[in-house]
Amino acid sequence: MSHVAPTRSTPAVNGKDHKDSIPQRQRPGVSWYRAASRRKVAIIAGLAALLCAVTATDFLIGSSMPANEAIYVLFHPSDSRPVDRQIIFDIRLPMTITAVLIGAALAAAGAEMQTILGNPLAEPYTLGISAASSFGAAFATVSGFTAAGIGATLGMAGSAWVFGIAACAVIVLFSRSKSAGTEGMILLGIAIVFLFDALLALMQYLASQTQLEQVVFWTMGSLTRAKWPQICLLALVSLIVIAFFYRNAWTLTAFRMGDDRARSMGINVNRLRTLTLVGVSLMAATAVSMAGTIGFIGLVGPHIARMLVGEDQRFFLTTSIFSGALLLTSASVVSKLIQPGAILPVGIITAIVGVPAFVVLIVLRRRPRTVSSPT
CATH number at residue 184: 1.10.3470.10
Separation between Cα atoms, residue 112 and residue 252, nearest integer Å: 8
15 falls within a domain: no
Does pLDDT of 257 surpass 90?
Answer: no
Q: What are the C-alpha distances in Å from 350 to residues 95, 221, 260, 306, 330?
A: 16, 9, 37, 20, 9
The domain of 100 spans 43-356
For residue 172, what are the contacts with CB-CB under 8 A and spacing of at least 6?
274, 277, 278, 281
- Is 211 a residue whose pLDDT tops 60? yes
Q: How far is it, in rounded angstroms, from Cα 125 to Cα 156?
A: 19
Q: How confident is the model at residue 28 (pLDDT cuts 50, 70, 90)?
A: low
Q: Is residue 7 part of a domain?
A: no
Q: How high is the mean pLDDT of the chain?
A: 84
Does residue 373 have a pLDDT over 50?
no
Is the model's pLDDT at 103 over the cut of 60? Answer: yes
pLDDT given at position 367: 58
Cα separation of 299 and 111, whole Å?
8
What are the C-alpha distances in Å from 254 to residues 33, 115, 250, 269, 322?
Answer: 18, 9, 6, 10, 23
In-domain check, residue 11? no
Reported confidence tier of residue 269, pLDDT bands at 50, 70, 90: confident
Tell whether the torsion through CA atoms of 162, 164, 167 and 169 is positive or negative. Answer: negative
Q: pTM of this prediction? A: 0.85
User: In 16-60, where does DSSP find H-type helix?
Assistant: 16-21, 26-60
Tell me what pLDDT residue 179 has: 64
Q: Is residue 38 part of a domain?
A: no
* Within-domain flag for 374: no
Distance CA 12, CA 329 (A): 58
**Model confidence over 278-332: pLDDT tens digits?**
899 899 999 998 898 898 999 999 999 999 998 889 899 999 999 999 999 999 9
Top pLDDT among 107 and 256 is at 107
Bigger pLDDT: 185 vs 301 = 301
Is the pLDDT at 368 greater than 70, yes or no? Answer: no
The count of structural domains within the chain is 1
Report how far residue 49's alpha carbon sits from residue 305's, in angstroms, rounded to the nearest whole number: 16
Is position 258 within any domain?
yes
Rounded to an integer, the average pLDDT of 152-164 is 81
Q: What angle do CA 219, 221, 226 make, to 5 degrees?
A: 120
